[in-house]
Structure 1
Amino acid sequence: MTGGIALLIVVATYSVQLIYSDYYTCVDDALTSTSREQCEQKLPEQLRPLLDTDD
């Protein structure tokens, strides 16, 4: 049972990284905060308020 849960967590983690790799690459490559804010366009609209960097 524990092994199945661990496998599920690993699969979920890799799936998120694969699906949102464009966003993570954009944020890592951004040279300015303005260009980093433009990366939010690569996220689904439902996640944008959760990851909003505007204070």
Structure 2
Amino acid sequence: MTRGGDALEVLATGPLATVQDLGRPGLAPMGVGASGAADRSALRLANRLVGNP
């Protein structure tokens, strides 16, 4: 599912590859854990370095 035409196409992965985001904070009352990347500041920095918002 994409919004606004943004998308990520994974062509190949390694055996232990994962895709991380900032998680789903605020949805615990609906049974959804916050989850997300373990190092959120590194995730934000990496995205800024490659030009992502």
Q: TM-score range by the shorter chain?
A: under 0.3
Larger radius of gyration, structure 1 or 2?
A: 1
TM-score by length of 2: 0.27
